[in-house]
Amino acid sequence: MHRYQGIVQLDGASLEEIARNYFRQSEQLPTELRLAVGRQSLRGADGQMHRSWRAGGVLVQFLPEAPERMRAPDLHPGEVPEGAVVDEVEDDDAWAEVKALVGTVDDDELVDEAVGVHALLYRLFHERGVRVYDPQDVREQCTCSRDRVRAVLASLSDEDRAEAAQDGTIAIKCEFCSTVYEFDKDDTGQSEAG
């Protein structure tokens, strides 16, 4: 029920291919990933065997010191996403190594609870050193604020603010969280509705 900021075509034969294409087209960051889903039999507290689904994945991205953008070595032959900024740089050894290592991950390693994230990361990257951060909850959170919206309005000309005003009020709706910020035409209003 929540509105997304952009639309990327779902192109690929699997969820993994679709995700790769998303990062190539939308994020324009060199990204390698492996995704898997499998059914497992686990013994419950009642002693009975229970079947359940489990999914797992690993995602790595090239994070250059230069501005983040798609690089020529990460594109398939003849493929340049529309509107992409492509740097003509050589593929570096570390990124080539990471892509090769991620390519060795089996589906079983991604869905087997006994393998675990620490063991998998150690198997893949122990020669380079691995540091696992504490997990963080994923939550939907918008970064809009009344001050940010006010700053946008302040950047407009007096004529543009006057044109945006209706009955002396300018109403701005955040398309991510649906919060509505209202300001009087002089940008000093205090009312807010969400």
Q: Which CATH number goes with the domain that contains 162?
A: 3.90.1280
| pTM for the whole structure | 0.54
Same domain, 41 and 109: yes
153 with 106, same domain? Answer: no
**Same domain, yes or no, for 34 and 109?**
yes
Residue 81: per-residue pLDDT: 54
Query: Is residue 133 one of the residues assigned to a domain?
Result: no
Which among 97, 80, 191, 79 is positioned nearest to 146, based on CA atoms?
A: 191
Q: 78: domain range?
A: 15-125
Residue 40 lies in a domain: yes
The region of weakest confidence among 64-78, 112-126, 160-174, 180-194 is 64-78
Q: Is residue 96 situated within a structural domain?
A: yes
Are 107 and 150 contained in the same domain? Answer: no
Confidence of residue 104 (pLDDT cuts 50, 70, 90): very high
The answer to whether residue 174 is domain-embedded is yes
List, in sequence order, the alpha helices (H) in 61-145: 93-102, 107-111, 116-125
What is the distance between the alpha carbons of residues 19 and 4, in angstroms, rounded to a whole number? 16
Contact 129, 161 (CB under 8 A): no
- Copy the structure tokens of residue 122: 């150690």
How much is the pLDDT for 18? Answer: 87
In this structure, are 117 and 173 located in the same domain?
no
Count of domains forming the chain = 2
Instruction: Answer yes or no: are the C-beta atoms of 115 and 109 closer than 8 Å.
Output: yes
Residue 69 has pLDDT above 60, yes or no: no
Residue 137 has pLDDT above 90, yes or no: no
- The answer on 182 and 100 residing in a single domain is no
| Residue 136 is assigned to a structural domain of this protein | no
Tell me if residue 34 falls in helix, strand or coil. strand
